[in-house]
């Protein structure tokens, strides 16, 4: 089996750096494809394809405006990612570093006790 499709879920969709860049740009508000093309310095078809992926996983939505297509962010589609990674937030917090030190000391004391 090959790798899962980029359109499988948000996890796969945001693995691509340009797509995260697009999301960051749309955080500032609705934008047309042409603007994104200029800001990204990518070809227009490439940008359109990235936008398609983001659309399919629900991270962005489109709106027609004359001959332009305005894309906007739908941040809630990123919630599953946040929910998952949030479980590990404590693992790099300063508070945890302290707790970790304490636990290490406790284990050390236990080892000393067993040495007797």
The binding site for DNA (CB under 7 A) comprises 1-7, 15-16, 18, 32-34, 37, 42-53, 62, 64, 66-69
String of contacts with its own copies for each residue 15-54, x by CB under 8 A: xxx--x--xx--x---------------------------
Q: List binders of its own copies among 90-109 (CB under 8 A).
A: 90-92
Binding footprint of its own copies, residue count (CB under 8 A): 29
Backbone angles phi, psi at 64, to 5 degrees: -80, 140
Q: How far is the C-alpha of 99 from the C-alpha of 94, rounded, in Å? A: 9
> Which of DNA, its own copies, none does residue 23 bind (CB under 5 to 8 Å by kind)?
its own copies
Residues 20, 79, 64, 26: what is their CA dihedral angle, to the nearest 10 degrees?
Answer: -40
Question: In this structure, are residues 73 and 26 in contact, taking their beta carbons and an 8 Å threshold?
Answer: yes
């Amino acid at each position: 089996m090959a790798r899962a499709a980029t359109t499988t879920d948000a996890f796969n969709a945001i693995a691509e750096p340009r797509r995260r860049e697009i999301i960051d740009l749309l955080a500032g508000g609705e934008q047309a494809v042409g603007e994104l093309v200029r800001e990204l310095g990518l070809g227009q078809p490439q940008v359109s394809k990235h936008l398609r992926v983001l659309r399919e996983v629900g991270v962005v939505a489109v709106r027609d405006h004359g001959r332009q297509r305005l894309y906007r962010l739908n941040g809630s589609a990123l919630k599953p990612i946040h929910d998952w990674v949030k479980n590990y937030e404590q693992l790099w917090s300063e508070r945890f570093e302290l707790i970790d030190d304490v636990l290490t000391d406790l284990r050390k004391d236990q080892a000393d006790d067993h040495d007797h």
